[in-house]
């Protein structure tokens, strides 16, 4: 939270409104911020890395202050009633551990995965942009937008608003991806449809596999303890 507050104050007090102009363009015109960078018009905007860090800090800051919600459920049918209290305590401990793991690994994992997302767009659009750096710019801007959307959805959740609003916000990432791809790299609607879908599916599967592996490795001892308690 200290890092988040410092970064936020730096952006809002020392950059003469650049952050507002950058975020406005990022949100309202998918892909245009990347196009501006590729055309050399960069002075009026904050750097891509700073934009990404600001957006991710806002999101993970909100996640950090969110109340925990139990995801693991144990009932009397699972274990003998006399062992229920201990098993529930272990299950709650495992749940807290999962949340701590996500909070610890997610920012680092996404920062590492972001260049991989750029490699995916380069693999499909290297004819229009043969160099990797434009694809990295696109990856950074896209992830910054995604984190801002996730942050807005999390803020709605914390405010007690209906879940539908947050779901609709998160779903906005999907059309944004296709619109931004076409604006930055070109191509027909059909080309953008199949290329964008392939990129999204490959990236989602990669994220899922990495986080599943992390959770499996980290939670294996706790799962063994739960099983031994219920036996």
What mean pLDDT is predicted for residues 99-124? 85
Q: How far apart are the first and last CA of the chain?
A: 42
CA distance 20 to 73: 44
pLDDT in tens, 28-49: 999 999 999 999 998 889 889 8
Given a contact cutoff of 8 angstroms between Cβ atoms, the answer to whether 105 and 180 are in contact is: no
Give 190 or 215, the one with higher predicted confidence.
Answer: 190
pLDDT in tens, 155-166: 998 888 878 888
What pTM was computed for the model? 0.78
Q: Please count the CA atoms within 13 angstroms of the CA of 138 that sit on its side-chain side.
A: 28
Rg (CA), the chain: 21
CA dist 89 to 62, 67, 69, 93, Å? Answer: 26, 18, 14, 6
| Closest C-alpha to 33, from 20, 128, 115, 196 | 20
Q: How do the domains of the chain map onto residue ranges?
A: 2-230
């Amino acid at each position: 939270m200290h890092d988040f507050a410092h970064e936020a104050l730096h952006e809002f007090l020392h950059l003469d409104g650049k952050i507002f102009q950058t975020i406005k363009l990022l949100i309202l015109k998918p892909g245009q911020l990347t196009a501006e960078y590729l055309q050399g018009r960069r002075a009026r905007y904050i750097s891509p890395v700073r934009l990404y860090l600001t957006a991710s800090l806002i999101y993970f800051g909100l996640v950090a202050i969110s109340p925990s919600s139990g995801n693991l459920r144990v009932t009397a049918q699972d274990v003998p009633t006399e062992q229920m209290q201990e098993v529930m305590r272990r299950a709650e401990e495992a749940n807290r551990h999962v949340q701590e793991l996500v909070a610890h690994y997610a920012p680092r994992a996404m920062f590492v995965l972001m260049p991989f997302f750029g490699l995916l767009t380069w693999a499909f659009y290297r004819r229009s942009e043969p160099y990797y750096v434009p694809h990295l710019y696109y990856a950074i801007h896209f992830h910054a937008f995604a984190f801002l959307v996730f942050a807005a959805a999390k803020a709605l959740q914390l405010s007690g608003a209906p879940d539908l609003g947050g779901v609709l916000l998160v779903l906005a990432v999907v059309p944004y991806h296709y619109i931004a791809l076409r604006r930055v790299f070109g191509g027909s609607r059909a080309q953008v449809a199949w290329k964008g879908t392939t990129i999204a599916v490959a990236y989602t599967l990669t994220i899922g596999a990495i986080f599943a592996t992390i959770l499996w490795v980290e939670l294996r001892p706790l799962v063994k303890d739960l099983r031994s308690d219920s036996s």
